[in-house]
Amino acid sequence: LSDLKLNIRSKDFTLPGQDIKGFKLATMRLNNLLLKADLVGKKLKVHDFILGDEEAAVRANFKGHINMNQRNFIASTLDLSGEVAFSNDFLEKYAIIKLVMNKFDKKDEFYQIKLSGPLSRPKPSSLR
């Protein structure tokens, strides 16, 4: 790729159920999805990556870039900063999430997170 501009938007985005190493998540209706990004050299500059609305179980907003590995996209590395929030119902159903997320700073109901490392194994850390 030498030129890429993304502008993906949905008002009825649904994330199918997942089984992540034995941790089962039900199908989630997130509603809003917005991804605005463009390729600058070998970096995919992420201007907006927004998931969910006020009704969604999960809401997120991230910005930053992805260092693209065009031969093996899954080996691309992340450098994204943002925030994520969970509905009370979601936190009651998946109480373990609250334990995991408590290590991150919280602003209002949003956990402040930096995602780095390979796309295949992102490493969350605090935004300090």
Output the pTM of the full model: 0.88
| Digit-coded pLDDT (tens) for 105-118 | 999 999 999 999 99
Q: Is the pLDDT of residue 128 over 80?
A: no
Would you state the pLDDT for residue 2?
A: 79
- State mean pLDDT over 83-104: 93
By three-state DSSP, how is residue 72 classified? coil
Average pLDDT, the chain: 93
Q: What is the per-residue pLDDT for 30?
A: 96
User: Does residue 21 have a pLDDT over 90?
Assistant: no
CA 28 to mean position of chain CA atoms: 14
Residues 34 and 52 sit within 8 Å (Cβ to Cβ) = no
pLDDT at 6: 96
State pLDDT tens for residues 28-48.
999 999 999 999 998 999 999
Give the DSSP H/E element, type plus range, for residue 89: helix 88-93
Helices and strands, number each (H, E), in the chain? 2, 10
CB 67 within 8 A of CB 38: no
